[in-house]
Chain A
Amino acid sequence: MDIQGEYHIAASPTEVWQRLIDPDVLSACIPGCESMTRASEDAYDCAVMAKYGPVKAKFKTTLTLSNINAPVSYTLSGRGQGGAAGFGEGVADVMLEETSDGTALRYTARFNAGGRIAQVGSRLIVATTRKFADKFFAAFSSGFDVAADDATA
């Protein structure tokens, strides 16, 4: 069950791309991200505090950038290990397209879970993924508006 979204950003695809691969930008946009350190060329170790209803737990997450096709598209995935609860993995395919006034950012995201999380939480996965993806991409795009405004100010 894929979730899709689209944002329009007043900056060129190359500028948007620079920020899409910038770990500082990514960590600032991931809801609940408390720390992020580079693990390898295209992978980062993050600590993410998830707060949804009764859930409040810190997950060690590995964030990976793959299928890199600069400055057009890539896949952003985060796999978190929840100990006794199981695991969860979120994947977003991101695509940039130049428009007359900037860049259209389109994403398709999905989330898979295994273990007890999947048993008790399957009915919540789509809504939670949508909320998480919306927060991430909204934060990412609004960061841009500010940057664009700053540039013209």
Chain B
Amino acid sequence: MYQFDYQAPDSLEAALAALRENDEAKIVAGGMTLLPTMKLRLARPEALIDINRIGSLAGVTEKNRAIVIGAMTRHADVAASKLVRDRIPGLADLAETIGDPQVRNRGTIGGSVANNDPAADYPAGLVGLGATVVTDRREIAADDFFTDMFETALEADEIITAVHFPIPKRAAYMKFPNPASRYAIVGVMVAETHDGIRVAVTGAAPCVFRVTAMEDALKKDFTPDAIAPIAVDGAEFNEDIHASAEYRAHLVNVMARRAVAAVG
């Protein structure tokens, strides 16, 4: 191992202060992405600020017709939450499809959202449900939060504290997982929210995006058939040994139709 400093403060203020003290410090949440990267020496932060002891950051509550999920809430706890299962079953389903039991028991919603991996599930969940990311200093609409591959609107010393999900009328998430990691080759969240219909796609492109043509079609006719003819342009889509860009473009339509059917 190489030398680095480790701190585990028990308040948000102390974590923020430690983060400001060192430009080369990193927050560690579940560590499911950061620690493997450090093991490969693809990142060598000088200090790790562990936020696992900040109790106020974990847990699920209901507030003003929204489900509020603390940044340190594990994927397994979102999947098992009776409140989430009750109010936004599509979101509990999403959390349940992430990775394997180890990843779900360690990985957190805050870490996933901050990382903005192009194949992560939560970005589609947040954008599809019109969620808001809450940080130590402000609230950021999901539509403005995920800016590009691995890039977000977060400032270098900003900590996510929670995510607010307005309770939708109905919603469902469907994904075609990578057979090994379970990361989304393509994942689609379809929701009828109180502000309209949303279709958000992860895995296909470098960053989560909405398919407005599908949203418009579903507004008129909420059936899988209504969006069957709507193709997305896959020219800039991701490609790997599991799926070509063209295949991903095809999957967007298939997963969107399945999500619409699941929403009912």
Residues in A lying within 8 Å of B, measured CB to CB: 1, 52-57, 82-85, 116-117, 120, 122-128, 130-131
Contacts and interface: CB of A to CB of B under 8 A. Distances in A.
Contact of B43 (A1, A56, A124): A56
B119 interface: yes
Given A122-B241, A123-B183, A127-B238, A52 B150 contact: yes
A54 B241 contact: no
B85 to A, nearest CB: 30
A126 B236 CA distance: 10
A54 B115 contact: yes
A123 B42 contact: no
B222 to A, nearest CB: 32
Most interface-central of B37, B119, B241 (chain A CB within 10 A):
B37
Contacts, number: 67
Most interface-central of B34, B42, B149, B241 (chain A CB within 10 A):
B42
A86 to B, nearest CB: 8
B150 A57 contact: no
B41 A57 contact: yes
A85 B42 contact: yes
Interface string B239-257: 1111001000000000000
User: What DSSP secondary structure best describes chain B's contact surface?
Assistant: loop
Contacts of B236: 130
B122 to A, nearest CB: 15
B59 interface: no
Given A54-B33, A54-B150, A56-B45, 17 more contacts: A52-B150, A53-B115, A53-B116, A54-B37, A54-B43, A55-B42, A56-B44, A57-B42, A82-B41, A82-B42, A84-B40, A117-B40, A123-B178, A123-B183, A123-B238, A124-B149, A130-B206
B264 interface: no
Contacts of B118: 124, 127
Contact of A120 (B40, B239, B242): B40
Contact of B242 (A52, A123, A127, A128): A123
B77 interface: no
20 contacts: A52-B149, A53-B116, A53-B149, A54-B42, A54-B43, A54-B150, A56-B42, A56-B45, A57-B41, A57-B42, A83-B41, A84-B41, A116-B40, A122-B240, A122-B241, A123-B242, A124-B149, A127-B149, A127-B238, A131-B149
Interface in B210-264: 236, 238-242, 245
